[in-house]
Amino acid sequence: MHLKRWITGIVAVPIIAYLAYKGQLVFTAFIAVASLISLWEYFTIVLRTSDESVMSLFPFLAFLAGPLMVFAAYFSAVMTLLVLTLDVLAICLILLFSPESSRCRKLDMAGKQILGIAYIPLFLSCLVLLRNGQDGGLWILLLAAVIFAGDTGAFYVGTYFGRYKLCPSVSPGKTVEGAIGGILSNIIVGSLIMLMFLPELGWGISLLFFLLFGVVGQMGDLFESVLKRMAGIKDSGKLLPGHGGILDRIDALLFASPVALFFQIFIQQGL
C-alpha cells in the first residue's frame, strides 16, 4: 500500500510538471481529460443510492460542459463562466418544461449536477488560468509538489503519531496530528520549491500562502470524504494504485487551485 502511494505520487508530480512545461494547450487537454474522469467518478458517488443513471440527461450535460469549461479557460476566465452559465440555463429550461410529477426528482439531480460542475471543472479551470500566467509552469510545479507533500505528510504522521480524531463523523481515519503534519509538509516543500525556482516571491506572503494551501487542501479532502461516506464507499475509483480514483488524488488540489490562482494574481499584479 505504502509503495503504491509513493510510486503513484512520484510519477504523477513529474508528469504534471512536464505537461505544464510542454505547453499550455497540451496541459489544458490533460486537465480536460482529468475533469471528465473526475466527473464520472463524482456522479458514480452521488448517484449510488439513486435510481438515476450516470448517463442520464443531467450528468450527460456535465460531461459536455466540464471539458468545455476547461478548454474555455485556455482563452479567458470569462469564457469559462459563459459555459457555466449556459449549463445552468439549460438545466433551468429542462426543469421548466418537465412534468410536474417528476420536477422534484429532477431538481435534486439539477443540484447535484451544478455542484459537480462547480466542484470539479470550474476549480480545475483555475489550473489552466494559473498555467497561462507568468511563470505558469513553475507555479504548477509548486502546486503539485506542495499538494503531494501535504497528502504524504498527513498520511504518515497520522498513521504513526495520530491520536486525536480530526473529524470522526466524516473521516474516522484522519487525525489532528496528521493534519498538522500535512500543513508542516506543505510549508517545508513549498519553501524549498520557492527558494529553488521562485525566490522573488518573498517569505512573508509565501508562508501565509502555504498555510492557507494546507488548510483548504485538507478541506477538499474532507469534502470528498463527506460525499463518499454518504454513498457508503471508500474510494472514488481504482484507476490509481494506492490512491483510488482520480478524484481521490485531486480532492485537495481542487480546493487549493483557486487559492493558488488568487495568490499568483496578487503577487504578479499587485491586487
Question: Model confidence over 137-180: pLDDT tens digits?
Answer: 889 989 988 988 998 899 889 999 999 999 888 888 899 999 99
- CA–CA distance, 28 with 183 (Å, rounded to integer): 28
- CA–CA distance, 65 with 121 (Å, rounded to integer): 8
Write down the pLDDT at residue 11. Answer: 65
Q: Output the pTM of the full model.
A: 0.91
Helix residue ranges per DSSP H, the chain: 2-22, 24-46, 57-73, 77-96, 100-117, 123-132, 136-161, 176-197, 203-231, 246-269
The total number of structural domains in the chain stands at 1
Q: First and final CA of the chain: distance in angstroms? A: 44
Q: Which domain holds residue 263?
A: 2-269
Write down the pLDDT at residue 141. Answer: 87
Residue that has been written with the C-alpha cell 494559473 in this structure: 130
Write out pLDDT tens, residues 196-219: 888 888 888 889 999 998 999 999
Neighbours of 148 (CB within 10 A): 23
* Grid coordinates of 239: 484507476
